[in-house]
Amino acid sequence: MKFLVLNGPNLNMLGIREPEIYGHETYDDLVERTRAACEALGAEAVFFQSNSEGELVTAIQNAYFDQVDGIILNPAAYTHTSVALLDALKAVGIPAVEVHISDVASREDFRQVSYVRAACVRTIAGQGLDGYRQAAEYLAALLGGVIGE
Ligand code: DQA
């Protein structure tokens, strides 16, 4: 099993940006923790972070050609704006889990819309960095036929 762990804008600033919302752990911590969680599931994890919408779209397209089995996606602010990311997920048809570190449901009105959600098998929010582990477990169970969509 191969998972793409895709993170959008400003997530490279974890540990610095609004620690009262996103915590003190860094993007490197996110990578380390998620890689360990994926390895424990017997999955290889490939990581990509970008502040550019187009690069995120290209990474989703490349996942198709690289035979990625599942996508763990935190589109960050593009969650609330990007039809392009939604279309890319629909184009590749790879099971994707939407992750948010913070509890977006209890935040500003403009964060209540998620364009990508319509193309995701599950959304995990408000679990901190553990949300990425939970997403990996969900994808492994789904791909292993343990659970259905
Ligand atoms: C976020 C929530 C988004 O609303 C925000 O724009 C982010 C991070 C989260 O992980 O909680 O950058 O996706």
- Cβ(37)–Cβ(135) below 8 Å: no
- How far is C-alpha 7 from the chain's CA centre? 6
Nearest CA to ligand 1 atom 6: 77
Length of the chain: 149
pLDDT per position as a tens digit, 27-86: 999 999 999 999 999 999 999 999 999 999 999 999 999 999 999 999 999 999 999 999
Query: Choosing from 27, 78, 100, 138, which is the catalytic residue?
Result: 100
Span 73-123, pLDDT tens digits: 999 999 999 999 999 999 999 999 999 999 999 999 999 999 999 999 999
At which residue do the structure tokens 């589109």 appear? 75
Does the CA dihedral 51-87-6-115 come out positive or negative?
positive
Whether 22 is catalytic: yes
Answer yes or no: is the C-beta of 10 below 6 A from any ligand 1 atom.
yes
| 107: nearest Cα among 76, 132, 86, 129 | 76
52-to-8, 19, 55, 82, 107 alpha-carbon distances in Å: 8, 23, 5, 11, 24
C-beta of 102 in contact with ligand 1 (< 6 A)? yes
In angstroms, rounded to a whole number, what is the distance separating the alpha carbons of residues 23 and 42? 28
Closest protein CA for atom 13 of ligand 1: 76
User: What's the CA gap between 44 and 42, in Å, rounded?
Assistant: 7
What is the position in ligand 1's atom list of the atom closest to the CA of 100?
10
Q: Does the annotation count 24 as an active-site position?
A: no
Q: What tokens were used for 34?
A: 């998620």
User: What's the pTM value of the predicted model, to 2 decimals?
Assistant: 0.97
Nearest to 11 by CA among 23, 130, 59: 23
Backbone angles phi, psi at 105, to 5 degrees: -65, -25
Question: Distance between CA atoms of 149 and 137, rounded to whole angstroms?
Answer: 14
